[in-house]
A and B are shown apart, each in its own frame.
Chain A
Amino acid sequence: MSELFELSAAETAASIAAGHASAVEVAQAHLDRISDVDSDVRAFLHVDPEGALTAARAVDERRRAGEPLGPLAGVPLAMKDVVVTKGLPTTSGSKILQGWIPPYDATVTRRVREAGIVMLGKTNMDEFAMGSSTENSAYQVTRNPWDLSRVPGGSSGGSSAAVAAFEAPLSIGTDTGGSIRQPAAVTGIVGHKPTYGAVSRYGLIAFSSSLDQAGPFGRTVEDTALLHQVLAGHDPLDSTSIPQAGPDVVTAAREGARADLSGIRVGIVTELTGAGGGYQEGVLASFRNAVAILRSLGAEVVEVSCPHFDYALAAYYLIAPSEASSNLARFDSVRYGLRVGDDGSHSLEEVMSLTREQGFGAEVKRRIMIGTYALSSGYYDAYYGQAQKVRTLIAADFTRAFEQADVLVSPTSPFVAFGVGERVADPMAMYVNDLCTLPASLAGTPAISVPCGLSDETGPALPVGLQIMAPAMADDRCYRVGAAFEAAYIAAHGHILKGMPRLGSVGAGADGAAR
């Protein structure tokens, strides 16, 4: 039998429900795995063994008492540190929140706890979710389990690395411009950005309110769907939460894994095929192979044009910093967090400025200033206002494209994982990581990243992700097509994580996950 930490979430839950393993054993196995490998991977900012074992014991007791257990009861999870957790440190990767213990739970946290999911701890991230490599964390650099000299993507790099390194079968990330999909792609796992409004934002430390959306990571499409189902649902505490029930993504994933794709129209977005250069050839090759697999599954592949996607990067890097400049104003040293310079010689204004200067990292400060500039009177119409109009045009491009195709596909990122330190000095070089993921962020539409191949173009074989995009509230299409693709890929090549170099002292790799 495989090690407990190698099982998928679905297998783990089944094993606990059947009494083959206790939730405490499962939690302990993952805590041991974290002890074994996290000194290399550095995915976690905070591990909570006591809390995890307490939650696991509660699941075991409920099982013994014959109470019904949810589909993920007892399954461990790693939580991105941007999600507020009562009683557990929450920093959003920033020094300005060092030591803050929230007095309340995010709705996402509450749902996770209520599902009997065992939270192992909080994962590293780019400060306030600003970045694509997790190098902007104020605390540590998380490494890609595929190659410890490389980044795990970002901003949810701690969550992607934890799942890829078998430190947790599930994790939660947030995606503002690609921060779930891109790290999933570069670590060889599945990550889904739900329809904006499907998952409550209450208790997510806001980066860009009109774009932020929390979502699941897993090693399989089914696991990812199971966690999605726990997270999604209307929340009266979030005014932008969609009141209608979302689609049944678990059924979609399970049916998708067994079915072909005949009758499904798959659209390739011309603007996201690297025609103008800038995409790695290895990425494009994997993408072409993925399209061939989709076609072999019976999908009708068409090409669609979304001309305004070319402006997504510009629109995003105006809207997100603008909203961030306002959202981050609350970090002012008055009610919580860091305070610098309160020695009797500085006014409040000076203390606020010194605190923010020392509490925020360079990327956060850059974006605050860009946003402050874009919202200034005299620039608003040309920058923020114009970006919102482009947002309308991008959404209209999607609407037209979805008249011709049921889902749209593209590479998730133009690049495979890059080396630590490679891009930090050049903000624009970092920003282009998000080229393919930004349109769905701006339109509020769902998109999933599913592993679709390996590229050794930059050295060792590294995973490439396939992005599958669907219309708003049709997240089930992402899971259905994703699961069908995953099944075909595994049938041909085995689970992609099998190709990952061995980490730690125990366990061989991804046997359990490679069903």
Chain B
Amino acid sequence: MPDDRSTLTRDEVAHLARLARLAVTEDELDLFAGQLDVILGAVARIGDVAAADIEPTSHAVPLQNVLRPDGVAPSLPRDAVLAGAPSVEDDRFRVPQILGEEE
């Protein structure tokens, strides 16, 4: 359980920013550390509710088995697919050098 007053460090904010792919600046780290801490402090009271045996609600409408038949529909024209791309080469989206692992 989170503490009533969670304290979020600068390092934790930096870690979250990395996970979220945000190149936050040093100044922002300080600003966000303070603000996120206040927000997390306010939402931490969610833990006060006794809800151990309560089912979580992931969907507001109780629907199930919404399926579509396996039929091919027209794709977008390729010009439209690529029109908004920052960089295109050989009808593919061009991206800078990838450092991460092959998935």
Contact = CB atoms under 8 A, between A and B. Distances in A.
Interface residues on A, range: 35 or more
Interface in B37-82: 38-40, 42-49, 51, 54-61, 63, 66, 68, 76-77, 80-81
Given A101-B84, A373-B40, A390-B51, A196 B23 contact: no
Residue among B31, B59, B83 with the most chain A CB within 10 A? B59
Interface stretch (A164-172, A280-288, A348-356, A458-466): A348-356
For chain A, what secondary structure do more than half of its interface residues adopt (helix, strand, loop), or is it mixed? Answer: helix
Interface in A187-213: 196-197, 210-211
Contacts of A273: none
Contacts of B18: 353
A308 B51 CA distance: 11
B20 A372 contact: yes
Nearest to B77: A103
Contacts of B21: 329, 332, 349, 352-353, 356
A101 B83 contact: yes
Nearest to B38: A428
A386 B51 contact: yes
A83 B100 CA distance: 34
A149 interface: no
Contacts of B36: 366, 369-370, 373
B76 A311 contact: no
Contact of A386 (B49, B85, B98): B49
Nearest to A236: B68
A393 B98 CA distance: 46
Given A311-B46, A373-B36, A382-B2, A348 B98 contact: yes
B47 A386 contact: yes
Interface in A339-393: 339, 342, 344, 346-354, 356-357, 360, 362, 365-366, 368-370, 372-373, 376, 379, 382-383, 385-393
B40 to A, nearest CB: 7
Nearest to A338: B86
A63 to B, nearest CB: 33
A444 B61 contact: yes
A385 B52 CA distance: 10
A317 B23 contact: no
A107 B5 CA distance: 44
Interface string A325-342: 100010011111111001
Interface in B1-38: 1-2, 8, 12-13, 16-25, 28, 31-32, 35-36, 38
B58 A210 contact: yes
A349 B100 contact: yes
B39 A311 contact: no
A362 B30 CA distance: 13
Contacts of B23: 350, 353-354, 356-357
Interface of B: 1-2, 8, 12-13, 16-25, 28, 31-32, 35-36, 38-40, 42-49, 51, 54-61, 63, 66, 68, 76-77, 80-81, 83-87, 93, 95-100
Interface of A: 100-101, 103-104, 196-197, 210-211, 236, 239-240, 242-243, 308, 311, 313-315, 317-318, 325, 329, 332-339, 342, 344, 346-354, 356-357, 360, 362, 365-366, 368-370, 372-373, 376, 379, 382-383, 385-393, 395, 427-428, 431, 442-444, 472
Given A311-B45, A357-B22, 8 more contacts: A240-B60, A308-B49, A329-B21, A348-B99, A369-B20, A379-B2, A389-B54, A393-B49
30 contacts: A103-B77, A103-B84, A104-B76, A196-B60, A197-B61, A211-B60, A240-B63, A314-B45, A329-B21, A336-B85, A348-B99, A349-B21, A349-B98, A351-B96, A356-B20, A356-B22, A365-B24, A366-B35, A369-B16, A369-B17, A369-B20, A379-B2, A383-B46, A386-B49, A386-B51, A388-B57, A392-B57, A427-B35, A431-B39, A442-B60
